[in-house]
Amino acid sequence: VMQWAISFPQLLRHAVVIAAAPRLSAQNIAFNEVARQAIFADPDFHDGHYQEHGTLPRKGLMLARMLGHITYLSDDAMRAKFGRELRAGKINFGFDVEFQVESYLRYQGTSFVDRFDANTYLLMTKVLDYFDPAGEFEQDLPRAFAETPAEFLVVSFTTDWRFSPARSREIVKALLDADKRVTYAEIESHHGHDAFLVPIPDYMNVFRAYMNRVAAEPRVSGASGMDARRVRDQDALNGGAA
């Protein structure tokens, strides 16, 4: 959404940025690299040509997903959901699944490989690593936002340690420094990064209030604003004919 606001400023009136960061930290890039190496290390990966070999790098993708899922949850969420509960009620002194959290991670990993492609996962993690909207503006994020007329809603969650509230506040500060209108909400939650998927009452109230305000705005009509852009684009497609 931030990149859309920067690259296509004439197309956005509002931008909602939830549980985000202006760019990935070194720690986040490190998590992505470990996930990629898990996939590369799977003998069924075949340098990405696994379909030609009739295989899937299931173990590698499963491990990548298990690692990623740990980062989506907070310590509080994992303690509340699993604690140190044992599946069989007692320790078996083996390497099979014993703790409930182990069972959960294996389920998340195995179910993920049935619905996601390994090469796509690799590409997505690299895109996330490369994402740096201020990069073309000498790391000046306010200057990157200078041309966008959009108003922003930025939301963060208190226990999101992968995309912490401090990173959202960097975005808010940059928008304010660029003289943009921005609403910021830091939502109390124990769910970690996955809180953005949970219908937390305060989160829903903030989002609903903002969207109701957007819905109440008069729609831009005629040859102005975004409609004017559409007219210009259509003229270009028609060879400039009016």
Q: Walk along the chain (242 residues) and give the pLDDT tens digit of each residue.
A: 999 999 999 999 999 999 999 999 999 999 999 999 999 999 999 999 999 999 999 999 999 999 999 999 999 999 999 999 898 788 888 888 889 999 999 999 999 999 999 999 999 999 999 999 999 999 999 999 999 999 999 999 999 999 999 999 999 999 999 999 999 999 999 999 999 999 999 999 999 999 999 999 987 654 344 444 433 333 333 444 43
Burial pattern 98-108, b for ≥16 Cβ within 10 A else e, equals: beebbebbeeb
Rounded Cα gap, residues 105 and 138, in angstroms? 41
Rounded Cα gap, residues 18 and 194, in angstroms? 11
pLDDT at residue 90, rounded to an integer: 82
CA 206 to chain centre: 19
pLDDT digits (tens, 9 = 90+) for 220-238: 654 344 444 433 333 333 4
Which domains are present in the chain? 1-23+133-216 (3.40.50.1820), 27-128 (1.10.1740.110)
Nearest CA among 164, 216, 182, 174 for reference residue 20: 164
pLDDT digits (tens, 9 = 90+) for 180-204: 999 999 999 999 999 999 999 999 9
pLDDT at residue 221, rounded to an integer: 53
Rounded CA Rg of the chain: 22
pLDDT at residue 220, rounded to an integer: 65
